[in-house]
Amino acid sequence: MALKIKIGLLGLGTVGGGVHKLLSGRKEAIARQIGSELEIEKILVRDIAKARGLDIPPQLLTTDYREVVNHPEIDIVVELMGGIEPAYQYIRAALQNKKSVVTANKDVIADYGVRLHRLAAEYEADLCYEASVAGGIPVLRGLVQGLASDEIYKIMGIVNGTTNYIMTQMTEAGLDYQTALKQAQVLGFAEPDPTNDVEGLDAARKMAILASLAFSAGIKMETVKVKGISQVTAEDIQAVKEFGYVIKLIGVAKQENGKVEVSVEPTLLRDSHPLATVKNEFNAIYLYGHAVGQTMFYGPGAGEMPTATAVVSDIMEVARNKKLGVGGKGLWQPTAQPVMKTADEIEAKYFLRVVVKDEIGVLNKITEVFSGHQISIENILQKLEKNQNQANIILVTHRLIQSNFEQALLELQKIPGLVDIRSCYKVED
């Protein structure tokens, strides 16, 4: 008879509901694949009386988490509540009871992933979180298993669907930021309070998780440089088009000579770059490896069923491990404290848009400031602003040292003919 593996769910909302549907709808197929039957034994919710549109015997539901994490027959605890507390404490309690944990919680994993991996190893339990980054895209497994033989040295990711939707609408439909955001909220792609998404925090957590796995180092959120999209204007979108670029919120993680940099910021990409073709709420992760070259993972980054596929695949991996007798023998541990690059070590190209008085010599002064900081210009364009005796100067630099650029920006502000530095974006060619 097939081994029965019992599951406890913490949370039965969007993703939890999807997991329930997938586990019941594909019950036989899953059992055939893993040689074990998966059965939901107990489910933690906040409100037992809530209508959920799911066929669930009422005795499965509880509001007491201990009935899940202490349940003697439950093998796998699946955390789908969201937020850091109490989810983190419940995950800890489950691991300390030697139960393997599957979670979709990027907040908990970004902040406590290293600690939880150590706890899981101590209590011989598995810890899986494929759904925490780019929902329906199996990128963590792709990174850790599919590309295990290679050294991944750079990751570029569109890992937040809300901001990608907004940037796509600004670029293609010519909407301004506020209108695109409202449209995203109406369609359910943005929360009523969109701060976490539009200010880049959600993407930063996902990049920290990706970089930690790719570079075997526990990357802390506070070391990720984060800038959101709320300051991107319709004029910027038009200006970058002049040079054949689009603006997207891009997460970048790089490792060079043993040093790491991780950032999330509005970034210019060539309009022919594969990531520039990733539109609306879709996500993609572009990986650079010494052996594989460049490879891209693409798909839905969220949603009930896409996210549920990642969660259920994790559950199946844990079940398989248990059947093979290798449960809790996960080998991944961060091997080293990451050494983060300083601004003197980070190299990048930048796009700059400044407004100047239409006077002789201002452009010269700008180029003088740049050359004083070893910055050379790859492309420059000057456009007169009608009736205002002002000009827009837009330029793209060659690769430069970030600290030099920061100094140059401070000096530019002192040029008498300079009216305003309107925008400044990193460029990834």
Residue 375 beta carbon to ligand NAP: minimum distance, rounded to whole angstroms = 40
- 105 contacts ligand NAP (rule: CB under 6 A): yes
Binding mask 47-66 for ligand NAP (x = CB under 6 A): x--x----------------
- 7 contacts ligand NAP (rule: CB under 6 A): no
- 300 contacts ligand NAP (rule: CB under 6 A): no
- 82 contacts ligand NAP (rule: CB under 6 A): yes
Per CB under 6 A, contacts with ligand NAP among 12-41 are 12-16
Return the range that interacts with ligand NAP (CB under 6 A); candidates 75-83, 93-101, 262-270, 373-381: 75-83
* Dihedral sign of CA atoms 231, 383, 392, 408 in order: positive
Q: Quote the CA–CA distance of 369 and 376 in Å, as a whole number.
A: 10
- 80 contacts ligand NAP (rule: CB under 6 A): yes
- Residues involved in catalysis: 206
Q: Which is nearer to ligand NAP, 163 or 397 (CB)?
A: 163
Q: Which is nearer to ligand NAP, 131 or 260 (CB)?
A: 131
Per CB under 6 A, contacts with ligand NAP among 106-135 are 106, 131, 135
Q: Quote the CA–CA distance of 238 and 169 in Å, as a whole number.
A: 13
Residue 46 beta carbon to ligand NAP: minimum distance, rounded to whole angstroms = 4
Number of residue whose CB is nearest ligand NAP: 13
Q: Residue 334's closest CA among 122, 149, 169, 115? A: 115
Q: Which residues bind ligand NAP (CB under 6 A)?
A: 11-16, 44-47, 50, 80-82, 86, 104-106, 131, 135, 302-303, 307
